[in-house]
Amino acid sequence: MANSSNVTPNDLNAFWMPFTANRQFKKAPRMFVGASDMHYTTSDGRQVLDGTSGLWCVNAGHCRPKITEAIQKQAAELDYAPAFQMGHPKAFDLANKLVALTPDGLDHVLYTNSGSESVETALKVALAYHRVKGDGSRFRLIGRERGYHGVNFGGISVGGIVPNRKMFGTLLTGVDHLPHTHDLSKNAFTKGEPEHGANLADELERIVGLHDASTIAAVIVEPVAGSTGVLIPPKGYLQRLRNICDKHGILLIFDEVITGFGRLGTPFAADYFGVIPDIMITAKGLTNGVVPMGAVFVKSEIHDAFMTGPEEMIEFFHGYTYSGNPIAAAAALGTLETYKDEGLLTRGAELGPYWEQALHSLKDAPYVIDVRNIGLVGAIELEPIKGAPTKRAFAAFVKAFEQGLLIRTTGDIIALSPPLIVEKSQIDEIVDGIRKILQQID
C-alpha cells in the first residue's frame, strides 16, 4: 500500500476530503497519479484494475483519446462563454445529440455541473411546472428510503440516507418518502430483477391518500439505487409507480446519474425497464467523469408550458455560471463519439450474462449473504461483523487496493461497476480478486 513516504511530498492537511475518514486516510493515503483504459497507476507505481469506473462515471475507460483531444482543442479555441443571454454552438450541438439518444418525449435539456445540481434543477422544474400551469398547490416532493440524490438541500430532503440528512436541520418541508425495496429475506441471490416487492409501489397510493394528490408535485427515484448498494427494482415496480403518477397527475422523475449512459446495457434505465419518466436526471457518464457536467431532460409538454408570456421575459429563473460550459460540452461530445464508435451504450447487454455468471460464482465465498446484478452493475452483500458494521467491507476495500483492484463499498456491500470497455478476462480478474480477498479478511 502507498504510505506517506512514497506519496509525492505533499501536506495532506489543508484538503478536507469529501465522504472520507480524513484522519485515517491521511495516515495511510491511497493516491492515484495516472490512468489508462481499465487501470489506474498508484503513486508507488502499481497498476490497479478499475472495478468501479472511478465513482461510477468513467464509463468509456480512462484517458480516452477522443475526449482528451476534444478538451485540449476546446481549451485553446473558446475557453468560456457567458451562459446567460449568450450561447456557443457546442452547447446546442450537444443538446441535439443528447435528445436524439434519450427516450421518446424527453426532448429538452437543462445543463448543470454535477448530479447534485441536476437533482436541484429537476425538483425546481417540477415545482415551477405545476405553478405555471396554474396548479401551484402541488408543492410536495416524494422521495424514497435509501435513495441518494446528491448532497444539496433538495437532494438530501428527498434522499433517504440518515447520516446525509440528520445533521442539517429541517431540510425542505412537504417531503414524504416511499419505502425502499431491498428485501433479502425474499430476494437474496436473485439474478436481475427480483420477483418480490412490486406491491411496495402501492405505498404511493397510501401517501396520495394521506396528503391528497392535489398537493403532490413529483416522485423522484433512482431506477436502480446505486449509492446505497445496488438495489434493483422488483419486477413491475417502476411501471406501477408510473401508472399511479399518471392517475394522479404527479410527475415522475428518474435520477439516472448512475444508470444513465449504458450502465444497464441500454442507453438509459428508462429504456431497460420500458418506463419513461417526465424528467430524467443525468451527470457522471455524460462526460465520462472527465469534466464536471450534468444534464436534466424534460418532456416537451413541460418545456412548452414555460414558453408562454412575453417573449422578452426570462421563462425560468434558474441556471449556473457554467451551464453548458464549452470545455464540458466538448468533453461530452467526445464522450458520445467514443460511446458510439465502440458500441458502449449497449455493450453491457452483451457482457451481462457473463458478468452475472461470474458474480454469482461468489455465492459460496466467505461472509456472502447476497449477490445481485443487472447490466454491468453488481453487488456482493457481506454479513456485518457484530457490533462493527461497515468494518468488514472496508477491510476488503483496503486489501483490494493493496492487491491491485479498485472496488467500492457502502455499508457492508461491495458495489461493482467496471468501465463498459471491460474484457471477460478482466471480469474474471475482478471476481477472482474478490474471492481471494474475502478469504483473507476476518
Per CB under 6 A, residues contacting ligand PLP are 320-322
Name the nearest CA neighbour of 382 among 430, 414, 426: 414
Question: Which of ligand PLP, ligand PXG, none binds 365 (CB below 5-8 Å, type-dependent)?
Answer: none
> What's the closest the beta carbon of residue 281 comes to ligand PXG, in angstroms?
7
> What's the closest the beta carbon of residue 321 comes to ligand PLP, in angstroms?
3
Residue nearest to ligand PXG (CB): 115
Stretch that binds ligand PXG, among 29-37, 211-219, 254-262, 316-324 (CB under 6 A): 254-262
**Residue 408 binding ligand PXG, by CB under 6 A:** yes
Among 175, 252, 258, 421, indicate the residue that binds ligand PXG (CB under 6 A): 258
Distances (CA, A) of 388 to 369, 393, 442: 17, 11, 12
Kindly tell me which of 272 and 322 has the beta carbon lying closer to ligand PLP: 322
Chain-centre distance for alpha carbon 369: 24
Site string for ligand PXG, 6-45 (x = CB under 6 A): ----------------------------------------
Interhelix angle 203-211/237-248, nearest 10 degrees: 20
Among 243, 346, 390, 410, indicate the residue that binds ligand PXG (CB under 6 A): 410
Question: Which of ligand PXG, ligand PLP, none binds 429 (CB below 5-8 Å, type-dependent)?
Answer: none
Distances (CA, A) of 49 to 61, 65, 248, 419: 11, 19, 47, 10
**Residue 146 binding ligand PXG, by CB under 6 A:** no
Number of other CB atoms surrounding residue 230 within 10 Å: 26
**Residue 114 binding ligand PXG, by CB under 6 A:** yes
Kindly tell me which of 208 and 418 has the beta carbon lying closer to ligand PXG: 418
Here the contacts of 27-33 (C-beta below 8 Å, separation 24 or greater) are: 28/1, 28/2, 28/3, 28/4, 29/2, 29/3, 29/4, 30/1, 30/2, 30/401, 31/2, 31/7, 33/8
E-strand spans in 300-433?
368-374, 377-382, 405-406, 408-410, 413-416
Q: Which residues bind ligand PXG (CB under 6 A)?
A: 55-56, 114-116, 119, 148-150, 222, 226-227, 255, 257-258, 283, 408, 410
